[in-house]
Amino acid sequence: MLDTPLRLSPSAVTRSGGCPRYRALKARPAQGRANGGRSGETFRETFGLGPLGKVLDLVEFDGLDAEAALARWRGDPSRDHHPALVRWTEHAVRQYLDAQTNGIRTEPVLQPVSRTWARRLDRPLDGLPEPHEEIVHGRRYAGGGVRELRLTRYQGVEDRPRDEAEIALAAAVVAAGGPVLGNRWGTGPLLIGRHERPERVRVVEVGCLDASSNVLFDDTAEAAFAAYEEHASGRVLEVATGEALRPGTDCGRCPIIASCPAVPSVPGLLNIDACTGPRRIWSVTTSRQYHTCAPIPYFHDLNLPRDAAREESGSTIRGRLVHAEIEARHARVPPRACAADDPLAGSAEATVDEPTAKNIADDLETRLRHQMLGDHSFVCPMRHAGTTTGVEIVPEHQVVTYDPSANVAVIAKIDLLYRIGGNWRLREIKTSRHLYEGDLLQKYEQIALAVLLSAEGALPGGRGGCRVELERLTATGPVLTEFDATDPELVRAAREVVQSAVARWHSDETLATSPGKACRDCGFIRWCPDARTDAKRDPRVGVGT
């Protein structure tokens, strides 16, 4: 047996859309694991359901009731959790226990199991020469010939998409797995104890937001193994042999980022010396959220459930719908210029029922979106392509650049990257009712970041070889502005904007909240004890921006 077997969990075989190479590396613990947390700071917890498990352990194995368990967890002097994480954990614990009492079948009576379950497959899969281990994480119960795994979810489980590979792998491990006795994340094989095969296997998911539950699998062990062969074995092979590189958020945890050919490395990009600290991810979205209220990026990282509808406004809806429509048009094959009379794909449509004030506002927004889409045709990057050969157009392109000096992965999601002939260009598209006449680099950090990445050679075309464009669609017409990334003064100003934005975020160890008007549009207001509950929200906020 190899000393460094593959090790997979059910989440490893889901269709995540992440980087195949990273998933293959993650399945091999001996290859190394990058620390994606933020050690040595106030808020160490990086898994939003982590505290839930600790409190439930106190309930199930120490015999405490929910409130006593929460009190002991809150009083642990070795931990100092953000108040929003505390409030979410209190809610999640109560909802889980409510689901356990009222929603999950309780016959036969099951007892909690403290040790994780895992199994080792010494028979290599076809095309996979290595034996491998499979492990499940969740709440475990057994009794009366039944084994049950409960998977905790942040949201409710109603209408949650199923992934048959994930379910089948989980069921097979529950059917055949033994207790893990040691070496959970070590480089060698897991030490797995003996077990008796259950008569029945159950996999249940529990929604910690609303105490909902859903039975994913309830059958014999033999049925679990059959489901594994049908749904999971091929996906295991696919994950284990993944070689494609797809830069994205996985880069924040990948052990080979410094040598990855798909991720340009630019030492000193952010002017921060923190190479020995844990790796972090920064994007313009991070900056925008941070300046709205410092802990918001952290809440996103924790995956705290949020009220997305609360974050919507007329301007955000407009921008999203116009972007989606333009993206659909730019993805056409063969590529062609957008025209004012192009039929809508449907994303920019809206209907008006009664002539209420809100519907009148919605109607005006619909007309403005249609106007902006028509205006885009006058500045569409493909309008001058004609019969030029070598046309390449990539909508919604994601670029990751690594600064090893700061140990930060910078993620930029570009509205449009395109090449006509031998010339590369990057374009950001903004929708706004009124035309902004101030400093565009300060107003649109995406442009400052794009100029800096182009100047550093992190974009196609080499140093400064990718021109940057800002397309603004307004109520008074389209405006196209170009930025030359070979202009030293422009690059200096862009560098100052980006480095200033990153520095404030990177050095903040307190993540203090900023209660005020921003609370009315914050999707995390339910969990934040500092939120201004008197900040009433106008559903039309942002319509005029």
Nearest to 27 by CA among 128, 116, 114, 127: 128
Enumerate residues 6+ apart whose C-beta is below 8 A from 523.
Answer: 306, 307, 308, 310, 311
pLDDT of amino acid 347: 54
Return the pLDDT at 184: 56
pLDDT > 70? residue 350: no
Burial 424-448 (b: 16+ CB within 10 A, else e): bbbbbbbbbbeeeeeeebebbbbbb
pLDDT at 541 over 60: no
CA-closest candidate to residue 165, choices 194, 193, 134, 141: 134
Inter-axis angle of helices 50-62 and 83-102, nearest 10: 50
| Separation of alpha carbons 164 and 176, rounded Å | 18
- Average pLDDT on 196-223 reads 96
Q: Give the chain's mean pLDDT.
A: 87
pLDDT at 151 over 80: yes
pLDDT at 277: 73
Q: Residue 218: which residues within 8 A CB-CB, separation 6 or more?
A: 200, 201, 202, 203
3-state class (DSSP) for residue 8:
strand
8 backbone dihedrals φ, ψ, rounded to 5°: -125, 150
Percent of the chain with pLDDT over 70: 88
Query: Residue 196: exposed, middle, or buried by beta-carbon count in 10 A (0-12, 13-18, 19+)?
Result: exposed
Least confident of 41-45, 159-163, 194-198, 366-370: 41-45
Buried b (16+ CB within 10 A) or exposed e, 114-138: eebbbbbbeeebeebeebbbbbbbb
423 by DSSP, 3-state: which?
strand
Ramachandran angles phi, psi of 451, nearest 5°: -60, -45
Q: What digits encode the pLDDT tens for the residues 248-293? A: 999 998 999 999 999 999 999 999 998 777 889 999 999 999 999 9
Q: Is the pLDDT of residue 9 over 80?
A: yes
Could you give the CA distance from residue 86 to residue 222 in angstroms, rounded to a whole number? 42
| Least confident piece of the model among 39-43, 135-139, 225-229, 360-364 | 39-43
Enter the tokens of residue 113: 């199991």
Half-sphere exposure of 376 (CA within 13 A, CB side): 27
Residues 6+ apart with CB under 8 A from 210: 95, 155, 156
Q: How many CB atoms lie within 10 A of CB 102?
A: 10
Q: At what angle do helices 314-330 and 357-379 cross, to 10 degrees?
A: 40
Helix (H, G, I), strand (E, B) or coil at 132: strand
Under 8 Å between Cβ of 116 and 101:
no
Q: Residue 526: what pLDDT?
A: 94
In 3D space, the residue among 282, 179, 289 whose CA is nearest the CA of residue 513 turns out to be: 289
Is the pLDDT at 117 greater than 90, yes or no? yes
Does the pLDDT at position 354 exceed 60?
no
**Integer Cα distance of 25 and 8 in angstroms:** 11
Q: What is the pLDDT of residue 42?
A: 41
Q: What is the pLDDT of residue 393?
A: 86
- Of 32 and 135, the structure prediction assigns the larger pLDDT to 135
Which is it for strands 392-403 and 408-420: parallel, antiparallel or unpaired? antiparallel
Q: What's the rounded Cα separation, in Å, for the pair 453 and 397? A: 14
The arithmetic mean of pLDDT across residues 417-440, rounded, is: 92
pLDDT reported for residue 179: 93
- At 529, give phi and psi (nearest 5°): -70, -15
> What is the mean predicted confidence (pLDDT) over 187-191?
75
353 pLDDT band, cuts 50/70/90, is very low
Kindly report each contact of residues 150-153 with a partner whose C-beta sits within 8 Å and lies 24 or more positions away, as own/partner.
150/104, 150/204, 150/205, 150/206, 151/10, 151/203, 151/204, 151/205, 151/206, 151/216, 152/49, 152/52, 152/53, 152/92, 152/96, 152/205, 152/206, 152/208, 153/205, 153/206, 153/207, 153/208, 153/209
Residue type, 529: P
Angle between helices 284-292 and 445-455 (to 10 degrees): 150
Kindly give, in sequence order, each residue whose CB lies less than 8 Å from that of residue 456, ignoring residues fewer than 6 positions away.
264, 266, 269, 401, 463
Q: Is the peptide bond before 108 cis (omega within 30 degrees of 0)?
A: yes
The beta strands (E) that lie in 67-174 are given as 111-113, 117-121, 132-136, 139-143, 146-153
Q: How many CB atoms lie within 10 A of CB 493?
A: 17
Task: pLDDT band for 34, please (50, 70, 90 cuts).
Answer: very low
pLDDT tens digits, residue range 138-149? 999 999 999 999
- Inter-residue contact 429 to 379 (CB < 8 Å): no
Q: 221-235, 343-357, 374-388, 413-427 — which one is most confidently predicted on average?
A: 221-235
- Count of residues in the chain: 545
User: SS in 3 state form for 379-406?
Assistant: HCCCCCCCCCCCCEEEEEEEEEEEECCC
Between CA 51 and CA 36 the distance in angstroms is 18
pLDDT of residue 1: 36
pLDDT at 79: 77
From 208, 248, 280, 205, select the one nearest 51 (Cα to Cα): 208
> Alpha-carbon distance 118 to 99, whole Å?
26
